[in-house]
């Protein structure tokens, strides 16, 4: 083995094409590890293999301790787009770019958000049970709803929010956008209505779909006070990150009839604890944080992750996928 090889840690679920992009390079050595490996074991692996020059992470935490253990980290990548488990300031201090998979999984998450809206509005779970349990006569007491003509409020107008908006427009919905980091002109150009005040917009919405990152600013964004502003006939969809919605407050709103239902792909604690209070409610649907993990999205994210790594090693980082632009 030549001494100038760059050592890259990758989680096990990279697609064959993505793996090939890396293994066909003679200057790269791959070390694969389970994504659910414990933090102390991961740190020990980094120390054992140091210097490590790049990592491709799933949900693994990464920060100052891992950087120190790596000795010569050049690039940290996420096989995804969320990065709340990564200490971005620590990377920036060492001029290490944090890169994400760009638009690779955004169509998949947007589809999941739309699926949850339709599942709730069309009362798919109840309708299935009516047929299966021979309760046909009760069907007219549980009439579903149309998305047509309804108002959806999309929180966050980035890669995923913009795609969700397009899908809602195809259903002939009125689309409101709350994103303080996007210009009103850009939102209007997409055929949507910008709203500057989230609290003022919530009472207008029949559906609220969350597509913002998890930051100190957004943690607890949907607390009891905000949920009270929503219509009692409205539905809340969260395919972004757990913790943006206050789960006890959501439970209270649902059981008290102040909110019609919710769709959750993400949770404050993952996996959520057995017997979670929300599990007992008939007007909530769940998914295990897989909105962006379709078969196609995994392949797209893996390949983009490999290309992100190669771009840094080759001295030309894909700027649009770098989170901490200050390191460029």
Q: Strands 52-57 and 6-11: what pairing?
A: parallel
Note if 167 is an active site residue.
Answer: no
Cβ atoms of 69 and 54 closer than 8 Å: no
Copy the structure tokens of residue 251: 């439970």
From 128, 270, 296, 319, the catalytic residue: 270
| Residue-by-residue DSSP string for 74-135 | EEEEESSS--TTB-HHHHHHTTPPEE--TTTTHHHHHHHHHHHHHHHHTTHHHHHHHHHTT-
Question: Using CA atoms, how far apart are residues 278 and 271, in angstroms rounded to an integer?
Answer: 13
Question: Using CA atoms, how far apart are residues 328 and 316, in angstroms rounded to an integer?
Answer: 10
Question: Using CA atoms, how far apart are residues 191 and 62, in angstroms rounded to an integer?
Answer: 39
Copy the structure tokens of residue 132: 């299966």
What secondary structure letter does DSSP report for 286? E
Copy the structure tokens of residue 259: 């909110």
Note if 48 is an active site residue.
Answer: no
Question: Residue 73: which H helix or E strand, with range?
Answer: strand 71-78
From 25, 123, 159, 289, the catalytic residue: 289
Question: Using CA atoms, how far apart are residues 186 and 190, in angstroms rounded to an integer?
Answer: 6
Note if 251 is an active site residue.
Answer: no
Question: Using CA atoms, how far apart are residues 247 and 151, in angstroms rounded to an integer?
Answer: 24
Cβ atoms of 34 and 55 closer than 8 Å: no
Q: Strands 193-194 and 207-210: what pairing?
A: unpaired
C-beta neighbour count of 92 within 10 angstroms? 16
DSSP bridge partners of 86: 62
Question: Residue 210: which H helix or E strand, with range?
Answer: strand 207-210
From 25, 123, 241, 251, the catalytic residue: 241
Under DSSP, is residue 114 helix (H, G, I), strand (E, B) or coil? helix
Q: Show which residues are catalytic.
A: 241, 270, 289
């Amino acid at each position: 083995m030549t001494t100038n090889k760059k050592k890259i840690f990758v989680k096990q679920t990279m697609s064959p094409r993505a793996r090939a992009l890396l293994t066909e390079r003679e200057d790269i050595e791959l070390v694969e590890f389970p994504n659910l490996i414990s933090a102390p074991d991961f740190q020990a692996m980094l120390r054992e293999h140091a210097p490590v020059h790049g990592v491709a992470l799933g949900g693994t935490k990464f920060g100052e301790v891992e950087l120190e253990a790596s000795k010569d980290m050049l690039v940290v990548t996420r096989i995804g787009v969320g990065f709340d488990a990564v200490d971005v300031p620590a990377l920036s201090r060492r001029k290490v770019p944090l890169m994400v998979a760009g638009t690779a999984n955004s169509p998949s998450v947007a589809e999941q958000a739309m699926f949850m809206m339709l599942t709730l509005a069309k009362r798919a779970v109840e309708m299935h049970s009516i047929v299966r349990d021979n309760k046909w006569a009760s069907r007219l007491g549980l009439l579903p709803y149309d998305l047509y003509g309804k108002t959806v409020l999309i929180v966050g107008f980035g890669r995923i929010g913009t795609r969700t908006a397009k899908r809602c427009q195809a259903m002939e919905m009125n689309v409101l956008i709350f994103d303080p980091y996007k210009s009103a002109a850009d939102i209007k150009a997409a055929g949507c209505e910008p709203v500057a005040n989230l609290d003022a917009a919530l009472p207008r919405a029949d559906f609220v779909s969350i597509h913002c990152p998890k930051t100190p600013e957004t943690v607890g964004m949907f607390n009891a006070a905000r949920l009270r502003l929503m219509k009692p006939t409205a539905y809340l969809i969260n395919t972004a990150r757990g913790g943006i919605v206050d789960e006890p407050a959501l439970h209270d709103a649902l059981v008290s009839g102040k909110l019609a239902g919710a769709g959750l792909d993400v949770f404050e604690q993952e996996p959520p604890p057995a017997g979670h209070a929300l599990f007992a409610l008939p007007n909530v649907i769940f998914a295990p944080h897989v909105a962006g993990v379709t078969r196609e999205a995994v392949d797209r994210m893996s390949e983009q992750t490999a290309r992100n790594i190669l771009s840094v090693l080759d001295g030309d980082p894909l700027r649009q996928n770098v989170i901490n632009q200050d390191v460029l």
